[in-house]
A and B are shown apart, each in its own frame.
Chain A
Amino acid sequence: MRILTCNCHGLIKFPELNLGPDVKIEQYDNLCKLKPEIGADEKVVIAGCSPNLLEGIFPNTNAEFVNLLEHVTLVNHSLEKAKGLIVAAVEKMKQTPSVKTKVFDIKNKSALVIGGGIAGIEVATQLSKNGLSVKLIEKTPFLGGTVAKLDRLYPEGTPYSHTLMPLINKLQAYDNVAQLFNTEVTDVKGRVGDYKIKLKTNPRGVVQCINCGKCVDVCPVEINDDGKKRKAIYYVPTFPDMYAIDFEACTKCGECVKVCPGKIDLEQTIKETDIESGAIVVATGLNWYDVSKVQEYGYARLDGVMKTLEFERAIASGALQPNKVAIVYCAGSRDSKHLPYCSKICCLLGLKEAKLVKDRFPGAEVYIIAMDMRSYGTFEYLYNTLREKGVSFIKGKPSEINRRNGNLVVKTEDLFTNELLEIEVDTVVLSSGFVADAATFDQFNIKLNGDFPVLFENAGLGNYELPRGIFTAGAATFPSGVAETLVDARKASFSTLDLLSRDKIETKIPQAVVDEDQCSVCRMCIGTCPYNAISVVDDKIKINEELCMGCGICAITCPSYASQLEGWNHSGLYEQVRSLVKKGDVLAIMCRWSAYNATERVAHDKLKYPENVKIVRVPCTGAVDPSHIMLALQKGAKGVLIGGCYPDGCHYARGNFRAKAREQILKLHLDSLGMDKDMVRLEWIGKDEAHKFVEIVQEMNR
């Protein structure tokens, strides 16, 4: 084994090491520039600066990193400690088999784009422009998505069509894009570069169409489509240029068939298609929060209480002429009972609706009731414009909305005047937030972290993530306005092009490996996997290499150690702990995504902590083995700290909850062994919480 050491131009001092003839020590001044060759299956210990840096410089290696710079040099700890850390790393690597190199062939160079809104249209355009074969699927009969339903776009009030139609027309110029309407994904199998997808195409009903519109005249079924009335047979003036039947509303009376000069088939059947693609772009757009859940605001219970989209469409279609309008902000947003987050664009949508009223009905009174106004960036001028136009802004959060004497009464506090107000209006607009398209993300096994997906691939941060070849674009990623959606769509297009331009991807992402000779198929691991990557195939436990992200939760669940996480196998960590921990030490086992970063920050924040605190890096708190904690205590450690991401922020969705349960039961056991259960602590330590780390280890050291 080789130990590669870097003294960072003389900054880092090294201890004298003699680890026998099998361990070769190489010293470098600046490892990051010299980049010595490391064999694919070679095991090395790299001792220098942060693994967060070095992993980027030496990707796809079997290395254990020792952060001498931030864990020894900059915190003025001794060379003796440095020696202990290096020796423990060597002991770990001796017992740790090489991580297998995974090769993903990019067999299929085409892309599937899901969602025919502006994001999907833009992605499909960019990809086809660059020569890729693209399938664009849209679940409704028309392109355009949410934008096609709007009257105008903020901030200028541009008619929606002036933005949407050029995008659609640009797309139609390419013949390597297939557009499938009324189409949804029903099943996805495969992996990056080689997806097999089942599509379901629902009937459109209209087969041949000359856009005469006679069918609409005779259709007896009228429905309310987000605030605007339309018939069961209808047309959205985007693309394609043909009518469609909304079969959820259609009674199949046949009146349209009689007048149609083209062809309408009411008995069209569902069509299933199998397609293949190398990458998938999810562009399923905005999903409104069900604001009727905010019961005190009376949506769906009180006439005249509507959502922003309905309000805009009702005004645009001439169905509504309000005199007094109250626009209630954050209806269900930033509220622990509903949506705990800010959806970012609803403030601007509210301003847009206020402007719409003022433009159409200058005499109408408009009240905007908001706790805060987040007209971020240059959108501030939209807010200023409306102030000048006489919109009344009230700082408050309405407690309830009721009907009285034919009017709607909004009860709210005005936090500037400390008055309780009852505002009588004829129309209330609820500016509510948005939720993630959980069903689609679930279909693609994309975990939501908190409320929206965490997509490292999108951000190009996927160094230690399994490449999935699944990207999101536009408001599916997070609610966004038109301009931001288009920018995001171009980013997703680039990521997709970057992926599909390769022949293969090679990575050494650690994954769980099951030893069939040890596995009893007890299935305890299956439900603990955050990625649904474990299943029983032919009476054997199989890890799906296309899904395993390498958190190690299953490995620490397995009562037989039959499942092991590559690079972090139990015996390697056992030896590391055994070698490292001396009597009176505090062992800190830190999650690489959060707490470990805090331990590095300590050095830069010029904080101090005692030398006997020894830090070990693990992929997740969910991969911390109670046996190793017990080993440290048995070796005489004063305490063992497990540090990880905050409850809702676990990088692997819920590893920290597994850690919590293990910690709790372990504490119970320690207590019955007559030990102080507080010797073991599981703490949530954010990346930047160096102070918190130092406080905790100082407490544990007392």
Chain B
Amino acid sequence: MAKPLVAFYWCASCGGCEESIVDLAEDLLKVVDAVEFKLFPVAMDFKYSDVEALPDKALAVSFINGAIRTEEQEHIAKLLRQKSQLVVAYGTCAHLGGIPGLANVANRKEIFETAYKNTASTVNPKGIYPQTVTETKYGKLKLPEIYDSVQTLDQTIDVDYYLPGCAPPPDLIMNAINAILEGKLPPKGAVLTSEKALCETCERNKSKPDKLAIKDIKRISEVKADPEKCFLAEGIICMGPATRGGCGERCINANMPCRGCFGPTREVKDMGARFLSGLASIIDVEDEAEIEKIAQSIIDPIGLFYMYSLPSSIINRKQGV
């Protein structure tokens, strides 16, 4: 029997999702035995034309990581959708926009000015910026256009499943691959991890008092966190209650609070707003001026509440830029 054909593609991402495939260790061999790759830019030499040559739906599944912010990414995402039976948004950036999604606090022009002109190590007296078309003596050279806004994968194409995480952990990857190979998939649109928030499995949840009540909000960098205690109970912001579990509490075990890379639970449309609402609710102060003061102590609300999910949120970019 022919092996199912698979694509593993990257968009706006850091390469960590590719790394997560290597992290499968010996399980990777099982995967390679079970499937045949048709596109895997980091590891194997295929051309886009190889994919274009495939009949529609020829690929059993495409795993696409990274957010969509260029013309090329959009094009290949659409191509893979056309050629695939299933598309899995692989990793946080494809799922919610991820860290690249924070670019939505600026626009292309501002980003170019920073990246190609204003940083201390850049020397660009002529103010040369990347162009989509450059005339040279050898002919026209083309670069894909970079968009003003970063999008999630499902804002560009129809997505069947989401494999969350920055990067997804090996056990969830293998579960997903096995489920696809065995045809034992949950309903379309599912996020292939726990249905409940991280607190469900977090060891520190046990240390949490029944009534959470904080009088001030601390940043992890300002305090020495007790490795046994619930961060929130100590006033340190931890996105755990708003974030799907299944990650294995990798950050928590390194004494870092959760920042939300697994995204929100099923019913939640805007992760940051939901956590913001919960956090505000446990501020146990009944004085208007004092409440204002505590709120003002939050530095960088976007980075805090939307570190991984800005493009997927209701107001998904900075306005007026």
- Complex Cα distance, B147 from A95, in Å, reads 36
Interchain CB contact under 8 A, B278 and A520: no
Residue of A nearest to B266 (CB): A518
Residue of B nearest to A631 (CB): B314
Report chain B residues within 8 Å CB of A647.
286, 288
- A 640-667 to B, binary, CB cutoff 8 A, 1 in contact else 0: 0000000100000010011011101111
Interface presence of B268 (CB below 8 A): yes
Please report A residues at the B interface, Cβ cutoff 8 Å: 517-524, 526-528, 535-536, 553, 556-562, 570-571, 574, 625-627, 630-631, 633-634, 647, 654, 657-658, 660-662, 664-670, 672-675
Please report B residues at the A interface, Cβ cutoff 8 Å: 105, 195-200, 205, 208-213, 232, 240-242, 245, 264-270, 272-286, 288, 291-292, 294-296, 298, 300-302, 305, 313-315, 317-321
Q: Separation in Å of the A129 CB from the closest CB of chain B? A: 44
Interchain CB contact under 8 A, B272 and A669: yes
A661 partner, pick from B196, B205, B295, beta carbons under 8 A: B295
- Complex Cα distance, B195 from A625, in Å, reads 22
Q: Separation in Å of the B294 CB from the closest CB of chain A? A: 7
Interchain CB contact under 8 A, A673 and B302: yes
Interchain CB contact under 8 A, B292 and A664: yes
Given contact pairs A527-B282, A631-B314, A669-B302, A560 touches B296 in the complex (Cβ within 8 A): no
Report chain B residues within 8 Å CB of A570.
267
Residue of B nearest to A527 (CB): B211
- Complex Cα distance, B291 from A553, in Å, reads 17
Interchain CB contact under 8 A, B295 and A630: no
Report chain B residues within 8 Å CB of A518.
195-196, 265-267
Interchain CB contact under 8 A, B298 and A665: yes
Interchain CB contact under 8 A, B282 and A557: yes
B273 partner, pick from A560, A627, A657, A668, beta carbons under 8 A: A627
Interchain CB contact under 8 A, B200 and A520: yes
Given contact pairs A559-B197, A672-B300, A672-B302, A625 touches B320 in the complex (Cβ within 8 A): no
Residue of A nearest to B282 (CB): A524
Report chain A residues within 8 Å CB of B208.
522-523
- Complex Cα distance, B286 from A556, in Å, reads 18
Interchain CB contact under 8 A, B295 and A668: yes
Residue of B nearest to A633 (CB): B315
- Complex Cα distance, B283 from A553, in Å, reads 13
Interchain Cβ contacts under 8 Å between A and B, 30 examples: A518-B195, A518-B266, A520-B198, A521-B199, A523-B209, A523-B212, A526-B211, A527-B210, A527-B211, A527-B213, A558-B278, A560-B197, A560-B274, A625-B277, A626-B276, A626-B277, A627-B273, A630-B315, A631-B314, A661-B281, A661-B291, A661-B294, A662-B280, A664-B280, A664-B296, A666-B276, A669-B301, A670-B315, A673-B302, A673-B319
Which residue among A557, A631, A667, A668 has the maximum number of chain B CB atoms within 10 Å of its CB?
Answer: A668
Report chain A residues within 8 Å CB of B318.
672-674
Interchain CB contact under 8 A, B281 and A658: yes
Interchain CB contact under 8 A, A662 and B277: yes
Report chain B residues within 8 Å CB of A517.
195-196
Q: Separation in Å of the B246 CB from the closest CB of chain A? A: 11
Report chain B residues within 8 Å CB of A634.
314-315
Q: Separation in Å of the B198 CB from the closest CB of chain A? A: 7
Q: Separation in Å of the B304 CB from the closest CB of chain A? A: 9
Interchain CB contact under 8 A, A556 and B277: yes
- Complex Cα distance, B197 from A673, in Å, reads 27
Report chain A residues within 8 Å CB of B278.
524, 557-559
- Complex Cα distance, B291 from A668, in Å, reads 13
A627 partner, pick from B274, B286, B302, beta carbons under 8 A: B274
Interface pairs A-B: 4 shortest CB-CB: A527-B211, A664-B295, A559-B242, A520-B197
Chain A contact surface mostly? helix
B283 partner, pick from A574, A627, A630, A661, beta carbons under 8 A: A661
B270 partner, pick from A528, A571, A627, beta carbons under 8 A: A627
Report chain B residues within 8 Å CB of A675.
315, 319-320
Report chain A residues within 8 Å CB of B268.
559-561
Report chain A residues within 8 Å CB of B283.
661
B269 partner, pick from A522, A562, A627, A667, beta carbons under 8 A: A627
- Interchain pairs with CB closer than 8 A, number: 171
Report chain B residues within 8 Å CB of A665.
276, 279-280, 295, 298, 301
Interchain CB contact under 8 A, B280 and A661: yes
Which residue among A556, A626, A673 has the maximum number of chain B CB atoms within 10 Å of its CB?
Answer: A673
Interchain CB contact under 8 A, B196 and A654: no
- Complex Cα distance, B56 from A436, in Å, reads 76
Report chain A residues within 8 Å CB of B292.
664
- Complex Cα distance, B280 from A625, in Å, reads 12
B265 partner, pick from A526, A553, A560, beta carbons under 8 A: A560
Interchain CB contact under 8 A, A524 and B212: yes
Interchain CB contact under 8 A, B199 and A520: yes
Residue of A nearest to B241 (CB): A522
Q: Separation in Å of the B91 CB from the closest CB of chain A? A: 22
Residue of B nearest to A630 (CB): B314
Report chain A residues within 8 Å CB of B200.
520-521
Interchain CB contact under 8 A, A528 and B282: yes
Which residue among A524, A526, A558, A562 has the maximum number of chain B CB atoms within 10 Å of its CB?
Answer: A524
Given contact pairs A527-B213, A627-B314, A631-B314, A561 touches B265 in the complex (Cβ within 8 A): yes
Interchain CB contact under 8 A, A660 and B291: yes
- Complex Cα distance, B165 from A184, in Å, reads 57
Report chain A residues within 8 Å CB of B212.
523-524, 526-527
Residue of A nearest to B194 (CB): A520
B241 partner, pick from A520, A571, A626, A654, beta carbons under 8 A: A520
- Complex Cα distance, B240 from A521, in Å, reads 11
- Complex Cα distance, B301 from A667, in Å, reads 10
Report chain A residues within 8 Å CB of B319.
673-675
Given contact pairs A523-B212, A524-B282, A674-B320, A630 touches B291 in the complex (Cβ within 8 A): no
A526 partner, pick from B210, B291, B315, beta carbons under 8 A: B210
- Complex Cα distance, B188 from A512, in Å, reads 29
Report chain A residues within 8 Å CB of B265.
518, 520, 559-562
Residue of A nearest to B269 (CB): A627
- Complex Cα distance, B285 from A372, in Å, reads 35
Q: Separation in Å of the A180 CB from the closest CB of chain B? A: 34
Report chain B residues within 8 Å CB of A521.
199-200, 205
Report chain B residues within 8 Å CB of A553.
281
Interchain CB contact under 8 A, B199 and A660: no
A561 partner, pick from B205, B210, B274, B295, beta carbons under 8 A: B274
Q: Separation in Å of the B108 CB from the closest CB of chain A? A: 16
Interchain CB contact under 8 A, A519 and B302: no
Q: Separation in Å of the A25 CB from the closest CB of chain B? A: 31
- Complex Cα distance, B196 from A522, in Å, reads 10
A524 partner, pick from B269, B281, B296, B315, beta carbons under 8 A: B281
Report chain A residues within 8 Å CB of B195.
517-518
Report chain B residues within 8 Å CB of A661.
280-281, 283, 285, 291, 294-295
Report chain A residues within 8 Å CB of B275.
559
Q: Separation in Å of the B191 CB from the closest CB of chain A? A: 13
Given contact pairs A626-B273, A630-B273, A571 touches B213 in the complex (Cβ within 8 A): no
- Complex Cα distance, B56 from A132, in Å, reads 80
- Complex Cα distance, B275 from A557, in Å, reads 8
- Complex Cα distance, B296 from A675, in Å, reads 17
Residue of B nearest to A684 (CB): B288
- Complex Cα distance, B121 from A353, in Å, reads 87
Report chain A residues within 8 Å CB of B285.
657, 661
- Complex Cα distance, B280 from A557, in Å, reads 8
Residue of A nearest to B301 (CB): A669
Report chain B residues within 8 Å CB of A658.
280-281
Interchain CB contact under 8 A, B196 and A560: yes
Given contact pairs A524-B282, A528-B281, A654-B286, A668 touches B298 in the complex (Cβ within 8 A): yes
Given contact pairs A521-B199, A630-B273, A561 touches B280 in the complex (Cβ within 8 A): no
Report chain B residues within 8 Å CB of A519.
196
Report chain B residues within 8 Å CB of A626.
273, 276-277
Residue of A nearest to B275 (CB): A559
- Complex Cα distance, B276 from A560, in Å, reads 12
Which residue among A559, A570, A670 has the maximum number of chain B CB atoms within 10 Å of its CB?
Answer: A559
